[in-house]
Structure 1
């Protein structure tokens, strides 16, 4: 499957961006790139394909990074101004040169050696870049340590190319703020249609991959912030089981639901990223409870993984429409059956989320204040300081900050909090486990988590979205996969099987 070069991404070089044609053309004409760039543009190549080019000597990391930096300048900063990248790593070319030297000396750290990665701007990086969650209030000295997953990527040979824009404070600043906007980065825009929804909060991480700024990226999810933007922008997104990946060094919302996760062009790339970021971390004890940590997720990918597997799908959408009446879904069902899957219609009971927001606000206030103590030298030391900063510096948009204000004043009695949090998680775990047990399922599927309404995130269970083409308006369609705890390997293998089984270059369903 390669929709990225001949399918959905044709819009990158068509009418909406006609005013940027000269800039786009200039990207490919630079003499530094040689024949490989001219004959095989790297913008939408997977990390696996790029690794093969570098291993063969046809491409270097320096050439690749130089090319991507020019592309970011042309399309992120100029032209359509996607605003997906909030900051470039000034050391990226130097790191690429070092990794090229290692490769020349027959030293290869792994499948991500020399591969550029975009990192959401809520991951600590102990370098020359800022870590701010998109907020000007956190501009100041860099963190003292990398986030655990960032350090793991560096160890694996990945190049941290830059920071990705996001919904400020991971969409926890205020209610009237558009998805993908931050005070530092401005408004992230969808590369398929500049006026369309990017979703949040890991919008920059998704758009960065979709627009060809990097083959892979990392985002975070508390409730939909990986799955939704990945689906809306047509890339693979993985939300792991909560606790699989360390949250240490990540600006938090709630440790009950927060998780990092990879975004990528292909399932293979996502599997490689998830493997590289995994491991036990003393700063996040939840990682000690992960079975067989780390797992080589790449080794589970098989084209026949769906043979005889039972996939449950909702009989009706949340709008009350029958899924079987959707022509695009009928086409997907045919592809799934052709590669051996058994499709099972299921009734999804309504789920209860009424306490989630209050619990998240309580967590946010306490956990952000704790995080800020790890950032010596900043002018803000508490959530109240951030509220005061925003009051003094409202910005041209003058967006509200009611979520910050309400979170700072939340006061739930401890026993009541514990009971409500426990019940919320149990309810959604029982919903998912109950459906899989009742119908004898291997996984659940849906359009972009519309019918399960965030139950996977609330349960702390893994989810994955796979781009499967475009709808009648040319916008990406993402098929959502959901399962029970620690089932990432099977979900990746199932999505891989469908990815391999779809027609190459498919533009619509």
Structure 2
């Protein structure tokens, strides 16, 4: 059984669910659905006040109100027509005494590069995959279903997970359009898990799946003011996810709170015999929601990476909160980290693996769905559909990747060795040399104005590169508003030490209470 067992003290006595009409009344009394986090929904189901059908119906109404109309966030591409049917089935199980754990009956949104069985295509935002209805669940989706989750819908993303062009606008895809940031609708939601981040910030669900190669969970979470967690690479299966890089790809939870992300990851993590990277996952996975406490900071040694362009007031306040919570703070000197060489090697790895891994994914699709079998085929498709696909930016990264010579090429193998050595050695050197439990850094700068056709105007620091290359766990937690827009605080741990990252992040979250609800203003100039 995945998640917490029925015998767990927190969920030892599950009340029978109420009628849906009564559950709707109770839900209304609890406050707007957008103000409830996953753990509050779990409590409502636990004590018999709420049921999955009422929760799912409320989210479907919220999506119609805020995403399809109102601010029209373009966060959700489509909802599954059987979502309410799934929810009723979960309620029926509780009536018969079966409770699968805290994800039981909880609706989840899924980034549209992750396959989900049903009538909705998995497109990665591209019209080239418009018919990619595989009718199979990615293993991580199968795990969530086994834990009782209701698969609610698919979220928009930066097309091809932001690997098509250097001039791409994060959050735009030919399938889903441009996702807006709920904190200011003209601002970018970052990428590539743009829709998942915006959806959680706007309360379209309490739980969503994102994916990351480098920054694609943590940046959208940071700029939309939510929690995002990139697990140790290999803790969660990547099978049946449209790939970029087998070295760096992973899926992870995006939620309102750290506890919620921990509950989700508990259900998602585990070995998949068809994904060699996950061979050790079952040895390391556990209940990540256990042991979360402010007191966990006592005795922790926390390293600090202070970029030159941090928001000094917010960052200093975060350090002070961690120190007051009992952590020992160690300032780190990163001047000897060769970020330029690391970045060049990483890019070479991503180009080569994109060409090889995407072809392997396309070749492995069920027969007759998608005629494209190689990256060259996708490039040709984009040229043929240029008015739709290339209207805002080109495919220069695709074209560079197509020139790669394969995974046996000495230049690729050298880049793999160089990138891993530089990233892993730097992080492991800090963890071992300074006896650190976690490292913190500012996750991101504030969201920029989205300007289709002109690329992204990133500003401020970024904490994603080293943990992405090394495959280490990386959690971002809201740190407050910088210039009126959210930024996050990153917690990075050694490989497989995901639980330690959750413990530190949870304690900071409880001490800081820094998450701010979105305003849906048209721009930062609008009051």
* TM-score normalised by structure 1 residue count: 0.89
Q: Which residue is equivalent to 2:424?
A: 429
- Contact 1:227 1:448 (C-alpha < 8 Å) held by counterparts: yes
Partners of 1:151 and 1:95 lie apart in 2 by 14
Q: What SS does structure 1 have at the residue aligned with 2:429?
A: helix
Once superposed, which parts of structure 1, at least 4 consecutive aligned residues long, lie more than 4 Å away?
A: 503-508
Partners of 2:24 and 2:287 lie apart in 1 by 33
Partners of 2:222 and 2:465 lie apart in 1 by 14
Q: What SS does structure 2 have at the residue aligned with 1:292?
A: helix
- Contact 1:372 1:381 (C-alpha < 8 Å) held by counterparts: yes
Partners of 1:216 and 1:36 lie apart in 2 by 18
Q: Which residue is equivalent to 1:5?
A: none
Which runs of structure 2 are paired with 1:198-209 in the superposition (5 Å)?
A: 198-209=189-200
Q: Which residue is equivalent to 1:49?
A: 40
Q: Which runs of 5+ in 2 are unaligned?
A: 1-20, 445-460, 519-527
Q: Which residue is equivalent to 1:406?
A: 400
How far has the Cα of 1:222 moved from its partner?
0.5
How far has the Cα of 1:139 moved from its partner?
1.2
Partners of 1:380 and 1:453 lie apart in 2 by 32
How far has the Cα of 1:342 moved from its partner?
1.6
- Of the three residues 501, 509, 522, the one matched with 1:499 is 509
Q: Which residue is equivalent to 1:385?
A: 377
- Contact 2:443 2:476 (C-alpha < 8 Å) held by counterparts: yes
- Contact 1:263 1:270 (C-alpha < 8 Å) held by counterparts: yes
- Contact 2:80 2:120 (C-alpha < 8 Å) held by counterparts: yes
- Contact 2:164 2:397 (C-alpha < 8 Å) held by counterparts: yes
1:399-420 Cα distance to aligned partner (Å, 9 max, x none): 3122222222222662332122
Partners of 1:415 and 1:354 lie apart in 2 by 15
Partners of 1:306 and 1:234 lie apart in 2 by 23
Q: Which residue is equivalent to 1:360?
A: 350
1:28-73 Cα distance to aligned partner (Å, 9 max, x none): xx99832431442221312111011123232221111111111111
Q: Which residue is equivalent to 1:75?
A: 66
Partners of 2:233 and 2:70 lie apart in 1 by 38
Partners of 1:71 and 1:177 lie apart in 2 by 29
Provide the aligned C-alpha RMSD in A.
2.1
How far has the Cα of 1:143 moved from its partner?
1.5
Partners of 2:498 and 2:146 lie apart in 1 by 23
In structure 2, do the counterparts of structure 1 residues 234 and 398 end up closer, same or farther at CA, with 3 Å as the change threshold?
closer
Q: What SS does structure 2 have at the residue aligned with 1:81?
A: coil
Partners of 1:83 and 1:297 lie apart in 2 by 32
Which runs of structure 2 are paired with 1:68-467 in the superposition (5 Å)?
A: 68-290=59-281, 292-315=283-306, 317-319=307-309, 326-349=312-335, 350=337, 351=339, 352=341, 353-375=343-365, 376-377=367-368, 378-396=370-388, 397-411=391-405, 414-448=409-443, 450=461, 452=463, 454-467=465-478
- Contact 1:239 1:259 (C-alpha < 8 Å) held by counterparts: yes
Partners of 1:211 and 1:432 lie apart in 2 by 35
Which runs of structure 2 are paired with 1:9-24 in the superposition (5 Å)?
A: none
- Contact 1:42 1:50 (C-alpha < 8 Å) held by counterparts: no
- Contact 1:174 1:403 (C-alpha < 8 Å) held by counterparts: yes
- Contact 1:301 1:496 (C-alpha < 8 Å) held by counterparts: yes
Q: Which residue is equivalent to 2:525?
A: none
Q: Which runs of 5+ in 1 are unaligned?
A: 1-29
* TM-score normalised by structure 2 residue count: 0.86
1:412-456 Cα distance to aligned partner (Å, 9 max, x none): 662332122012111110101112233332211011063656111
1:465-491 Cα distance to aligned partner (Å, 9 max, x none): 0113223x3211210011211110000
Stretch moving more, 286-295 or 356-365? 286-295
Stretch moving more, 432-441 or 365-374? 432-441
- Contact 2:271 2:282 (C-alpha < 8 Å) held by counterparts: no
